[in-house]
Amino acid sequence: MDTRTLLQNFQSVYPDNHHEVRIYFSPGRVNLIGEHTDYNGGYVFPCALSFGTYLVMAPNDTNKVRFATGNFDVRHEQNVNALNKKIDQLWINYPMGVMYEFITRGYAIPGIDLFFYGNVPNGAGLSSSASIEVVTATALNDFLHAKIGGVDIALLCQHAENHFVGVNCGIMDQFASAMGKKDHAIYLDCNTLDYQLVPLVLKGYKLVIANTNKRRGLADSKYNERRRECDQAVAEISRVKPIKYLCELTVEEFNQVQGAISDDTVRRRARHAISENERTGKAVQLLREGDLAGFGQLMNASHDSLRYDYEVTGVELDTLVEEARKIPGVIGSRMTGAGFGGCTVSLVKEEAVNELIEKVGKGYHAVTGLKADFYVAEVGDGARRIL
């Protein structure tokens, strides 16, 4: 959305506010490879997208923070002394949790008017919640002259989501939103937060994101179940080889100790995490070498491991991937995000993009009865002020 339209929307919601406004933006993200490795001590490889969340903000000379959005017909105001209290409108708890993080660090939140607009599809697994958090933190950081660095912004937002909103997320989403760089992906160690910006040179290929538009009702419960299964694998392996995280092991080392895991299902969960971590490292190396075909093969292997070993895909994601792989010019396709709905990401020759959208859309609808949405992804910068 352009700044002129954002300003007009802000004024229509807050006609009594005549202060100078500021506009900020924070992107969504897509993870190219490295799924369900973050909480297993491994690497992820996300990039920031060109779409995300915009925030128009101005002081309002009151003792209230007023919230509005262009995405829902919902408005709310909260006394600045009550920003520690969650409310029933879930999306407002994301920015409010970030505000409370600033308060706990000694900053006073003044009366302000906030207008959010997001073009990240909600519930698609492209991190709309982290985008809301990071744009709020970026705005407050600027407005309050807090001088908090990008990595600490990501950590602050993760803490808000974990402890205020109550979602036990990892750091990847907030980190990619805060630290993304145009035409680069982030090779991130989620434990140490060591990271490298890797040029994403696609040379005639495009990243195409397909949204299943399936409600992700299973995602949270199954996510917690997978975490428990991985904890069980660590506990049983540690009897023969002490480890803290599964991804401390190479695939070769896992093959030597996997017999310590008593349950076959738990063994497959561990095999995915460890093999996915190794795939992620190889994928980054191949990308640096300009081997897009090899990178695409590892994307395919990643999805297959998530499908058969980790079992977090489902008919919708599998159908999108299967239909995409039928298209000449698609060199890799996989689910991205937690699973059980959400999105796939495919690496596609530019001239095959339209064919993919048409044929995969038809094939997906024939199997599932659902309509998929497609986005040709542009890799953008991280959170920033734009006006």
**Whole-number average pLDDT of the chain:** 95
> Residue 217 has what pLDDT?
61
Helix (H) or strand (E) holding 376: strand 373-377
Please enumerate in sequence order all residues whose Cβ is within 8 A of that of 331, keeping only pairs 6 or more positions apart, or say none: 205, 292, 293, 295, 296, 297, 347, 348, 349
Q: Do 3-199+381-385 and 205-377 fold alike per CATH? A: no
Q: Is 173 assigned a catalytic role?
A: yes
Per residue in 250-295, pLDDT (tens digit) is 999 999 999 999 999 999 999 999 999 999 999 999 999 999 999 9
Closest CA to 84 of 68, 60, 69, 65: 65
- 40 neighbors 233 (Cβ within 8 angstroms): no
Q: 142, 173, 220, 291: which one is catalytic?
A: 173
For the chain, the structural domain boundaries read 3-199+381-385, 205-377
Write down the residue that tokens 């994101």 correspond to.
209
> In CATH terms, is domain 3-199+381-385 a member of 3.30.70.100?
no
Cα 99 → chain centroid: 21
Fold of 205-377: Alpha-Beta Plaits (3.30.70)
Per residue in 208-251, pLDDT (tens digit) is 999 999 976 656 778 889 999 999 999 999 999 999 999 999 99
- 97 neighbors 56 (Cβ within 8 angstroms): no
Rounded to whole angstroms, how far apart are CA atoms 372 and 292?
26
∠ CA 99-141-126 to the nearest 5 degrees?
Answer: 70
Helix H, strand E, coil C: the string for 128-184 is HHHHHHHHHHHHHHHHCCCCCCHHHHHHHHHHHHHHHHCCCCCCHHHHHHHHCCCCE
Question: Which regions of the chain are under pLDDT 70?
Answer: 122-125, 216-219
